[in-house]
Amino acid sequence: MSLQEIDPFPWFLHKDVPLLINGQRVEMNIRASEWTKRWRPFLSNLIELQRLCGRRMLVGVAGAPGSGKSFFTEQLAWMASKNILPKVNLVSLPMDGFHFPESVLAERFLQLEDGRQLRMSQCKGAPDTFDVPMLRDHLERLKQTPPKMTWPGYDRVHHRPVPHAISVHESVNLAMVEGNYLFLDRPPYGGISDIFDLRIYLEAPPASIVTNLMNRHIEGGKTIAMAKDWVKHVDLPNARLVEMTKAKAEVLIQRDRDGAISAVVWANTPSSSEPNPDDV
């Protein structure tokens, strides 16, 4: 049973573990109770599904801006790199690398819910600011498992995509792709969610999302007033749109106000029940 393969008491519990996410350092700290009740059963099911897949498995991770998608997938990538996930070679791939270049965004306009018309460079992160055909092409090639391919990253410090930032070797058997609109079912996104073998939706308390977004924008160089305006008129409307795609996910992962996983709910896939003490 795959649950028995997951260490019940790994060395990193209750420790601050540094992760580098989009050029920024973030600390991971997982409590023993969170590991036992949430992480370990989830990882067991994920490993089992990967083995049943029999090839490279593609997992889509969607959620509102600021819900912690990048953090979650990088946590998984770090665990795989430390052999916490037996026989899993995992890569974390961001959708943000498919933003149009600034030169394109500066020439295009988008109308907001309040009627204002802004250059796309002023509302980067909205659905129309991504090169969706390029994303689709990369996802299809990713599933074909070529000997080697690259994936664009995103630099939050300089607010720009980084072409060919991530190398994906054919040995990768679990690819975690994270992004706001991966499950969106309107043009030009239609059909992208079907490329994934498993769809995960990440949910966080609204107050935590707003705090995360404010911190992200301020660390990225915006003033408090600019950050508030961006969150209100760009991020929150995007979040409401993303929320409508939650029903497409087979797995719902909820985080609490401290960022810990508080619930993992599976639909039509392996059970989310608590582990049997006999399996520990």
Tens of pLDDT along the chain (280 residues)?
A: 578 899 999 999 999 999 988 777 889 999 999 999 999 999 999 999 999 999 999 999 999 888 999 999 999 999 999 999 999 999 999 999 999 998 999 899 887 667 778 888 888 888 999 999 999 999 999 999 999 999 999 987 778 899 999 999 999 999 999 999 999 999 999 999 999 999 999 999 888 888 887 887 787 788 898 888 878 878 888 888 899 999 999 999 999 988 899 999 998 654 444 444 344 4
If one counts the domains in the chain, the total is 1
Amino acid at 255: R
86 preceded by cis ω (within 30°)?
no
Q: At 154, which helix (H) or strand (E)?
A: strand 148-155
Q: For position 80, which CATH number holds?
A: 3.40.50.300
Dmax (CA) for the chain in angstroms is 62
Give me the domain span that covers residue 33. Answer: 2-279
pTM of the model: 0.89
User: Nearest to residue 99, comparing CAs of 211, 179, 1, 199?
Assistant: 179
List the structure tokens of 90. Answer: 């995992």
Q: b/e map of 168-202 (b: 16 or more CB within 10 Å)?
A: beeebbbbbbbbbbbbbeeeebeebbebbbbbbbb
What Cα–Cα distance (Å) separates residue 274 from each residue in 6, 71, 186, 250, 252?
14, 24, 37, 18, 16
